[in-house]
Chains A and B, each alone.
Chain A
Amino acid sequence: MTVALFVPCYIDQFFPQVAVATLELLESLGLDVVFPDGQTCCGQPMANTGCNSDTAPVARRFVELFTGYDAVICPSGSCTAMVRHHYAEYFADDDPAFTSVRDRTFELCEYIHDVHGGRIPDVCFPHRVSVHQSCHGLRELGLGSQSERMVQRPDKVAAVLNQVQGIELMPLTRVDECCGFGGTFAVNEADVSAAMGRDRIADHSGSGSEVIVSADMSCLMHLQGILRRQQNRLQVMHVSEVLVGRELETAPLAAAQRS
């Protein structure tokens, strides 16, 4: 299997360690991983603002760049959902390059769970973890059961995380409420966004968790920004970092500051 690694723009620029962990994880699964050069962004910021004419060339470029691989794997549910569910308006329905890329683009946990048999190499992470389900991962990709819909689906992120030795998944009160990131929403509606983020953090903190783990780094970027402002010792990690056995960063802030 030759798979292409798609690294979303903000991960490339701000969270390279997440892309490194994703790459190492995929390699440890025995996959031939290539990193196509020239990749930038899936176009979601423009699409979510309604700037469809600005999205179209970015989407077309993405499809050209990622055509021809057995799979395109992305450490972000949101960017994967963009390709799978929102690219259609920029392509002809029967455009084979588009449909092929659309049908082969996977979020990381989803790929492991659905395509790769679900197993991961042995790894240990002896910590209390609370999982943040990103909205697009959950509701658009169906990575788990959602509280709104009365259908059961396997929780793909938890299924992968549960194989990690020593990990303890902590229950949340509101299992799948939005963290308030929402792309440009975070700056358009800064007050509401921040209030949503603080509420999510309170739920995670209240669970006794040491670290918020998510398949979407964009949500975590927002939550981490608030945690740091609060001088809260709760950490965030991308799921890939846990799955390759990265250490939990020890508390960098004074314990007394924990809120």
Chain B
Amino acid sequence: MNESTVKSSVTATTDSRRAIMDRLRGQVIDSNPIPPIDTSSLTQFDDPLAVFQQNLQAVGGESHLVDRPEQVAEILLGIDVFSSAEQICSLVPDAVNGNVDASAVDDPHEFAPLDWTIAQGQFAVAENGAIWIDGATLPHRVLIFIAQYLAIVVSRSQIVSNMHQAYQQIGNIESPFGVFVSGPSKTADIEQSLVLGAHGCRKLQVFLLP
């Protein structure tokens, strides 16, 4: 392909927009509005914390109940791969003192050797062990994915039962990025054998503060 054909194809994008819209508008299909969700038919957990912990474990994560932020560091120091870590980026300074100042870094590639990221979760979801991380709390979104190990600190009073409540909790999305994290990175692409630590974090520690 030469430049001229590339150019002509792309000028066609406005024509294509019109053509696609014409085809969609040209075929009128009757439909009903989507009725509001019947919340009474959705499962609510009596003890969302217990369900969350159970599901987090099932997806390969580990949870720790802590009463004070300082306990996070104490527990982490008992984990070999943390105590021997060289580069730690903490976004939760009252829990862990990191040694990588993410906000001073321009190019996200510089995080390649990062051992740990300690991130702040906004809330958790009981039904699937997921934690919502708003991109606004991340100087670089790659921090969640590039570190060898990830720890997330979240309040255990902030656990919703299901994804319906989760999106209500999020409300209007303001940040360009947000992610539900449910357990460590994993793959089963080789003969359905589950392996933790595909491309992202090898392990996930979740600290549940009051």
Q: Do chains A and B touch in the complex (CB under 8 A)?
A: no
Which residues on B are within 8 Å of A, measured CB to CB? none
